[in-house]
Amino acid sequence: MSSLNDKLAAALSSREKRHIRRRLPVSASPVLPSADFTSNDYLSLATSSTLRTAFQHALSTAPQILGSGGSRLLVPTPAHLALESFDANVAFFSAIPQPGDVILYDEHIHASVHDGMGASRVDSSSLIKFPHNSVVALKRSLRKLLHERDDLRDGRASAFVAVESLYSMDGTFAPLREIVQCVEELLPKRNGYVIVDEAHATGIYGPQGRGMVAALGLEGRVLARLHTFGKALAGSGAAILTTELIRDYLLNYARPLIYTTTLTYANIIAVECAFDMLEDGSAEVTQLALHLLDLSRYFLELLRPHLQSAPPELLCLPGHLRADDHKDPTNTPSDASFPPPTPIIPLLTPHPHSLAAHLASLSQPLFTKAITWPTVPVGTSRVRVCLHAGHTRDDAWLAREREVARQWLDVAEGEGVGAWMESKL
């Protein structure tokens, strides 16, 4: 074996020993929608007969449905005018922040933002992480920067603040009102910019599913919003809602946009059909979103009492989901309606693979996803449950079954944990 192969094999072996090696999921039979708690198809539009019918009709009348023709800059067709196909976070953060600017980012921000920052012209010393959802820490960092740098105080340099509206691994909401207010107050020269990744909020929250920024009325106070078509909208690709100037700059300098083959015509048509359902105020989509939020609340109400008796070091909910009245006054808005219910429910455990395997082995199998480092910080491994509008209250039986949790806890507490995990992996 060559030296390169030795090094690659050793790296994979190291991950294997630590139970963090990634593999493609393998299923001998199709997973029923009612048993799937892994995907981000929050509104279950991927299985919607209404969307399917609209898509098929649109395909039958479209002049082109196959291929795309190349990069977006080479495709001058109407189908692509409103929808772009590129890694929006990488494109924005690699191109827009200029030399001398600073980027402050939430410690739980998506990996694509890290990729964009790494490719940007901002000095690594000016990439500043702050604790998750901590407005206090953000203020502290901004005040320190303003004290040290004349160019930030007088507006010659810019500060970008990167957050997600709904975080995909934790199911936490960013305190967007407080973050925006903080940036506006500390940077009155208007050289502070908030960038919000709405990937997991699109289609679910806000008027016509426009996300949390719109739900909170902050559209005019946020520089850019990043929306994906690949989760609740049952498509793929992404778009940035921003100013005309930034749009034109990205067309000229954003490498992921310039050098990436754009979405196929068929994908564009599918996404347009999904957007039509949102923009038309479709009663079906509205009811799907309301049902999803009601189901999220119901699932947690059933689950909390059963987990109270479990050893927290083996199995627990994260702090923000343990009780309805749990609020951190330093990090969350005072609005009683915030935060809303979340369909992302992490079950924290040091044995995520064994728990996911146990759930999949039940007589009514439930397919979940074990999440470990490096996707989440060390010591915060979990099984992530993603609820979908296609689920029903009957599908939440797991949250009612104290015995299911007890069976797994008995195994996790015993001496045979390692062997049992190996037999299930």
Residue 324: its pLDDT value, please? 55
Query: Which range, 143-152, 286-295, 371-380, 386-395, is most confident?
Result: 143-152
Global pTM? Answer: 0.85
Residue 175: its pLDDT value, please? 97
Indicate if the pLDDT at residue 46 is higher than 90: no
Residue 193: its pLDDT value, please? 97
Domains of the chain, start order: 29-46+282-424 (3.90.1150.10), 72-278 (3.40.640.10)
Per the CB < 8 A criterion, the answer to whether 135 and 330 are in contact is yes
Nearest to 104 by CA among 195, 174, 34: 195
Indicate if the pLDDT at residue 331 is higher than 50: no
Angle, to 10 degrees, between the axis of helix 402-413 and the axis of helix 352-360?
Answer: 140
* C-alpha dihedral sign at 241, 245, 248, 254: negative
Residue 251: its pLDDT value, please? 85
C-alpha span between 136 and 241 (Å, rounded) = 28
C-alpha span between 305 and 39 (Å, rounded) = 26
Per the CB < 8 A criterion, the answer to whether 352 and 382 are in contact is yes
323: confidence class by pLDDT, cuts 50, 70, 90: confident
Mean of the pLDDT values across residues 57-67?
77
Residue 35: its pLDDT value, please? 79
Query: Which range, 56-70, 98-112, 240-254, is most confident?
Result: 98-112
Task: Looking at 62-217, list the stretches that DSSP marks H as alpha helix, in order from N- to C-terminal side.
Answer: 88-95, 111-118, 135-148, 150-153, 176-186, 212-215
